[in-house]
Structure 1
Amino acid sequence: MGVVTRTVGEALIDILEANGVDVVFGIPGVHTVELYRGLAASNIRHITPRHEQGAGFMADGYARMTGKPGVALLITGPGVTNAITAMAQAYQDSVPMLVISGVNARASLGHGEGWLHELPDQRATMASVSRMTHTLHEPRDLPAVMERAFTVMQGRRPGPVHIEIPTDVMDRSIDLEASEATKLSGPRASASDIAALAEKCRRAQAPVILCGGGAVASAQQIAAFAQRLDAPVVTTVNARGLLAGDPLSVPASPSLAAVRALLAASDTVIALGTQMGPTDYDMYSDGGFPVLKDLVRVDIDPDQLTRGPSASLRILSSVKSLLDDLLPELDEHDADRDGAARARTCREAVLSGLTPKMRTEIGVLETIRDALPGCVIVGDSTQAIYSGNLYFEAGRPKGWFNAATGFGALGYGPPSAIGASLGEPDTPVVCLVGDGGFQFSLAEIGSAKDCGANVLFLVWNNDGYGEIGTYMIECGIEPEGVTPSAPDFLKIAEAYDVPAVRLSDVDELAPALRRFADGKGPGLIEIHETNTRGATA
C-alpha cells in the first residue's frame, strides 16, 4: 500500500491485522475511543465482555486454541487493574496475550494531580504481570514497539505484553509503510545437543517422556518420538490429549504416587516444554517428587531451564524444532521397552488410588468427551476439574485446560471458554464451572449470547465452595465463609434467552449435551452434586 498517513489508533489496527489478529476483546471508554477509529473498517471482530477481567480471560482462551496472541483493548486505570488477574494467569501458564491500554496525557504522567483513571505509575503496576511493558511516548515509534511486542510474546517463553498509549498520542498522525507480520524463528538445539540426546535415547532401557503446555502444539512429533522410544508419555494439565487413546499415554498428575513410581523406575526422563512447577509436580506440597535419573530438559526459556530439578542435559529449543531434528537420528532405532505395559500399569494404579468420588467425577468428564467427539473442556476451579487434573484423557490436543493450576483464578472458565469458542467456532466448547466460581463472571453469559459462542456452561453446583469447606474440616477448622448462596442459574440463563436444563440424573447428561450442541449459540446445564443422581459416589 506504500506510505500512508494514519492516526496512531488507525495504524495500530493496521499492524494488528498484518500480524493475523482477527478478534480483539475490550470495553471502549473515553480513554480508548481513538484506538477504535480504524476498527470498524478493518476485518477484526470486536467482542465486548461484561468486565475487563473477562476480556483478559477471553484473550487467554482464544490464544490457547489458536496459538496466536489474544488481544485486549483496555481503558486507563480500572480497565488495566481489572485485567491484572487474567494477565497473571496467562503469565503463569505462558499464554501469549497483547494488552493495549490507554494512559493519561504525557504531560500529566507522574504528577499525581488526580486526572480521571489516574494511577501513580500505571506501567509499573503492569510490570509484574507482563513479559514487557512500554509507554508509547512518540507516535513514530509505534511500528518498532509493536514488532518488539510480537517478538516478546511469541519468542522464548510466551506471556502477556502491555503497551500503553497516552491519550494525547492516540490521535496523532504518522506515516506508515505497508505493515508486515513479525517473523520469528525460536531457539534451536545445537547439533551436539541433538547427538547427545540421540545417544541417551539409544542407551535408555526404561525411558519416560514428560510433556507440559510447551509441547501441546507438537502432538504429531511427540507421538512419533514416543513410539520410537517405546516410552510412556506423562502429560501435565496443560498437555492433556496429546496422545489421546494411545497405549503409551499416561494422562495423570506427576503429584500422584503411581506416576512418581513410574518416573523413579525410569533410567532416562525427557521433559518437553514443562515448567516442572509445584502445581503440577507437588500439588499436595509433600516434597515427595523423586530425584530423576538422567533427566533431560527441553525448554524455550533459558531461565526456566535453571529452575526446578537439575538435569544431565539442558536444551534450549522449541519442542517442535527439537523433535524435527532428533527424529531422523532415531530412524533405525527399533525400541522394545515394555512401554505400553508400563503405561497401562501406571494408569491402573492411578485410578485404583483415587477415591470413589473422584472416579465418579472423572466418569462425568468422560461422558462429556464421548458425547461430543473433538470437544474442548475449559474448566474453572471446581471439584470435577480437580479430579480431572489428577487423571483424565482429553479427546484431543488442546482439549482440556483450566485455571486450577498456576495462578488458580476463580471465574476464569466462562470467559476463557468464550474465547476458545471464538478461536474454533465449529468446535463444541464445554465450560465446567462451580456455582461459586461462576458467580465471579456470571454476566459473561450475556457476552456468549451476543457473539453466538458455541459454549455449553456446565454448572457443577455443590452449594458453595465445597472443596475449601472439606479442606477446612480436614484441618480441624470450623468451616466458615464457604456457603455463599447461588442464584437459580436456569432463571439467569432464561433472562439472557439462553436455553438451560437442570439434570435429575447424570444419565441425562449425554443426550442433553448432544441436544444443545445441535443448536447455535450458548446453552446451560446444571448438575447438583447431591440432587442429581449419579453425580457423586
Structure 2
Amino acid sequence: MRNGGDLVVETLEALGARTVFGIPGQHALGLFDAMGRGNLHFVSSRVENNSAFAADGYSRATGEVGVLFLSTGPGALTSLAGLQEAYATGVPMVVIASQIPLEGLGARRKGMLHQLDDQKASAANVTKSQRLIQHASGIPSAIQDAWTDAISSPQGPVWVEIPQNVLLEPIMVPPVEDALAQAADNPPRVELVREAVKWLRDARRPAIIAGGGTRRGRAEKALLHLAEQLRAPVICTPGGNGAFPWEHPLSLQSWIEDRHMTDLLEDADVLVVIGSSLGEVTSNYFTFEPRGRIIQIDAEPRVLESNRPGLGIRADAGQALDALNDALDAALAAQDGRPAPDWHGSSAEQTVADALRKVRERLASQDLGKELAFMADIRAAVPDDMQTFWDMTISAYWAWSCWDSRQGQFHSAQGAGGLGFGFPAAIGGAVGLATMGRPSRVLAVSGDGSAMYSISELATAKQHNVPVTWLIVDDGGYGILREYMVGAFGKATATELARPDFVALAEAFGVPARRVAPEDVREALEESFAADGPNVVVVETLLKMFAPTHLE
C-alpha cells in the first residue's frame, strides 16, 4: 500500500531530483521506506549539519536543487547552521523535515519524543519559506511550490514539514506523473535601467563589483560584455570569485580586502555593484567610502541600499545585466560611443595594472614568502577544471583574494562563516558531479579546528567511495582567531587546540592519508588527485594573513 512517503519521493523524482542527503529518524521512517521503492540515490551523513552542507555543495557543484531529509527535533535543529550558510549564499535547496503526528502538534500532547512547540519556526531565520503539510493529498503541490521558491531569485533553501502519520498512512492519491516548477521571473524595472544607462553612458571612471549573485544569476557573459563596453575595472568578491576572467586586462581579481583596491573603487564616478550587499568583507570591513554614485543590482530587496545609498535595482543579476547591456548598447550607438575612461590621465587597463602591481609590492614587503608559495603550490597542483571547497581557515582567507578558479568553481563558507563546511560540501559536490555523469575529483581545504567539525564524514566518504581529497592545514588551533586576538589584544586566549593524529584517524576510517611538509604539498596533492576514492593530506604549518595596508 502506498503512503505519504511515496508521494514525497514521486514528486521529487518528477521535479528532477536524483540525490538526497540526510539521516534517518523515527518520525521520518516513512520517507526512507518509500525511497526503497523509488529511484533516489541516498547519501547518509553522520551529522545533520554536515548533511545540510553536503546538499549545499551538491547544488553549488551541479547547479541543481539540493535535497535534504531531516528527522524531527534534534535532527532538524542540528541542521540549522548548515542551512544558514545556504540561505546567506543563496543556494537552492528543498528540506523535507518530519514532524510528530498531527494530534501532538500545538502542544496538545506533551512529552512526545523529539517534540518542539513550533519546529518550523526554528527554521524561519535560515530558510526562504516554511510549510506544514497536514494531508497527504497536499504533498505534491506543496513540494512543487517549495521547489519553485527555492529556484526563484533570490534563490535559497525552503522548509517543508510533514507529520509522521501523514507520511505513514495509506493514501488514495494516484502516483505522481509530472510536476512542474519554473523560476519566477525577476526582471529589472524599465525606468531604473533607463536611469542607470544615463549614469553610465557619460561615466569617465566606471568600476564594477561582482558579487555572488552574479554567479547565481549565471551572468558571467553579460558581465564581461558590460565591462568591455564600459572599459570598467572589475573586482570579484569571495562569493563572486570566477565571475570575471582572472587575467583579463580589466580584472582587479579578488583583492577586495587590500586598501589599494578600496582606494580605486572609492575613486569611481559610477560604481556598479552586482549581487553584493557591500557587506563586511566587500566594504573592507566598513572602511569603504565611495565618492561617486552607486548602481546596486540584487535579487534580494532587503540588500538594496542596506549599506550604501544608490540606485537600487531589484532583479536577477542575469536578467538585469542583459537588460542593461541592451539599453546601453543602443544608447551608445545613438550617441556614437562614450567618452574614453580617464583615471586621472591613465586608461582603465593601466589603472588596473598599477593597482595589481601595488598589491604585489605590498605583499612582498610583508615577509609572506611561505604563504605565497604555499597557495601557489596548491593552485599549481589543482587541475584547471577542478572544483574546490574551502572552510573558514587562513588558507581560505588567502584564497578569497588570490585564488584563480579558472574553469573550476570556487566555493567557500563566506556567506554565514560557520566552521565545518569544506569537507561535507565537497562530498556533496563530488556525489553530484558523478550523478550527472560528470565524475570528477574535488578538493576540500580545512584547518585543524574546522576539520574536527566534520571529521565523522570520513565514514561517509569511505562508505560511498567519494573522490574527494581533503587538505587539512594543521596549525594547532583556531589560526585566524589567534591572529585576530594577538592583533587586537597582544595575546590569544582559548584559541589553542588539542587535536588528533589526523593521518592515523583517517586511516582508522579506511581512508588513505599522509603528512607532508609545506614545501611538498604540490607533489602530495598531485599524487592524491590521481588515486581512487577519498584521501587526506595533512600539512602542519603556521600561516599568517597579509595586512591590507602598509605595516608600521
Q: Report the TM-score when normalising by structure 1.
A: 0.91
Partner of 2:56: 60
- In structure 1, what is the Cα distance between the partners aligned to 2:297 and 2:275? 6
| Partner residue in 1 for 2:129 | 132
Deviation at 1:237, TM superposition (A): 0.4
Q: Report the alpha carbon displacement of residue 503 of structure 1 after superposing the two structures with TM.
A: 1.3
Gapped runs of 5+ residues in structure 2?
342-346, 544-552
Within 1, Cα distance between the matches of 2:163 and 2:294?
Answer: 48
Alignment of 1:288-367 (within 5 A): 288-311=287-310, 313-331=311-329, 332=333, 333=337, 336-337=340-341, 338-354=347-363, 356=366, 360-367=370-377
Distance, in Å, in 1 between the alignment partners of 2:371 and 2:432 is 28
Q: Is the 8 A contact 1:56 1:87 kept in 2?
A: yes
Residue equivalent to 2:265: 263
Counterparts of residues 361-440 of structure 1 (less than 5 Å) = 361-371=371-381, 372-396=383-407, 399-403=409-413, 405-425=414-434, 426-440=439-453
Number of aligned residue pairs: give it: 520
1:509 aligns to what?
A: 521
Look up the match of 1:153. 150
- Does the C-alpha gap of structure 1 residues 17 and 357 become closer, same or farther in structure 2, counting only changes over 3 Å? farther
Q: Relative to 1, partners in 2 of residues 1:270 and 1:358: Cα closer, same or farther, differing over 3 Å? A: farther
8 Å contact 1:252–1:350 — kept in the other structure? no
- Deviation track 1:428-454 (CA, whole Å, cap 9, x = no partner) reads 321110011101110111211222222
Q: CA RMSD in A?
A: 2.2
Cα deviation code 1:151-176 (max 9, x no counterpart): 22122322221111101110231424
Equivalent residue of 1:341, what SS? helix
Cα-to-partner distance string for 1:339-371 (whole Å, 9 max, x where unaligned):
322222222223333474656434433332332
Give the residue type in structure 1 aligned to 2:320.
Answer: L
**Partner Cα separation in structure 1 for residue 263 and residue 407 of structure 2:** 26
User: How far 1:270 moved relative to its partner?
Assistant: 0.7
The one-letter amino acid of 2:130's match is T
> CA 1:121–1:496 in 2, change beyond 3 Å: closer, same or farther?
same
Instruction: Using the TM superposition, give the Cα deviation of residue 280 of structure 1 relative to its aligned residue in structure 2, in angstroms.
Output: 3.1
Task: Return the alpha-carbon distance in structure 2 between the equivalents of residues 292 and 428 of structure 1.
Answer: 45
Work out whether residues 448 and 473 of structure 2, in 8 Å CA contact, stay in contact via their aligned partners in 1: yes
Match of 1:251 among 242, 249, 253: 253
- Higher deviation after alignment, 17-26 or 138-147: 138-147
Distance 1:260 1:461 in 2: 32
Decide which of 458, 464, 479 is 1:466's aligned counterpart.
479
Conserved? CA contact 1:27–1:52, under 8 Å: yes
1:26-51 Cα distance to aligned partner (Å, 9 max, x none): 11122111112332343321101111
Aligned partners of 1:402, 1:375: CA distance in 2, in Å?
14
Relative to structure 1, the CA distance from residue 223 to residue 43 in structure 2 (aligned partners, 3 Å threshold; closer, same or farther) is: farther
Query: Which position in structure 1 is the counterpart of 2:46?
Result: 50
Q: Secondary structure at the match of 2:282?
A: helix
Distance 1:115 1:67 in 2: 39
TM-score with structure 2 length normalisation? 0.89
Secondary structure in structure 1 of the residue aligned to 2:208: strand
Q: Could you tell me which of 6, 10, 18 is aligned with 1:14?
A: 10
How far apart are 1:249 and its partner, in Å? 1.7
- What is aligned with 2:234? 233
Q: Once structures 1 and 2 are overlaid, which stretch shifts more, 186-195 or 406-415?
A: 186-195
The answer for the alignment partner of 1:208 in structure 2 is: 207
Aligned pair partner of 2:462 in 420, 439, 449:
449
Aligned to 2:546: none
Tell me whether 1:28 sits opposite 2:37 in the alignment. Answer: no
What is the distance in 1 between the residues matched to 2:21 and 2:362? 43
Equivalent position of 2:106 in the other structure: 110
Partners of 1:515 and 1:254 in 2: CA distance: 33
For the residues of structure 2 that align with 1:497 and 1:97, how far apart are their CA atoms? 31
SS in structure 2 of the partner of residue 475 of structure 1: helix
**Aligned with 2:34: secondary structure?**
coil
* 1:306-325 Cα deviation digits (max 9, x unpaired): 422111x2222211112223
Cα distance in 2 between the residues matched to 1:71 and 1:362:
38
Aligned mates of 2:105, 2:369 — CA distance in 1: 56
Letter in 2 for 1:263: L
- Aligned-partner SS, 1:374: coil
CA contact (8 A) 2:262 2:284 kept: no
Secondary structure of residue in 1 paired with 2:489: coil
- SS of 1:304 mapped into structure 2: coil
- 2:548 is matched with none
The residue type equivalent to 1:517 in the other structure is: F
| Structure 1 pair 502–357 and aligned structure 2 pair: CA distance change class (3 A) | farther
Aligned to 1:535: none
Tell me the distance in 1 between the aligned counterparts of 2:291 and 2:393. Answer: 32
**Within-5 A mapping of 1:178-197:** 178-197=177-196
Moved over 6 A (4+): none
Aligned equivalents of 2:54 and 2:328: distance in 1? 41
Q: Is the 8 A contact 2:61 2:387 kept in 1?
A: no
- CA change 1:358–1:396 in 2 (3 A) is farther
CA distance in 2 between counterparts of 1:103 and 1:318 reads: 34
Query: Residue type matched to 2:242 in 1?
Result: G
Residues 296, 305 of structure 2: 8 Å contact kept: no
The structural deviation recorded for 1:282 is 3.7
> Which is worse superposed, 243-252 or 375-384?
243-252
Verify the 8 A CA contact 1:279 1:406 in the aligned structure 2.
Answer: no
Question: Is the contact between residue 148 and residue 184 of structure 2 (CA under 8 Å) also seen in structure 1?
Answer: no
CA distance in structure 2 between the aligned counterparts of 1:140 and 1:373, rounded to whole angstroms: 48
Q: Give the aligned residue type for 2:166.
A: V
Q: CA deviation at 1:330?
A: 4.3
* Change in 2 beyond 3 A, CA 1:234/1:292: farther
Could you tell me which amino acid in structure 2 is paired with residue 529 of structure 1? Answer: T
| Amino acid in the other structure paired with 2:451 | F
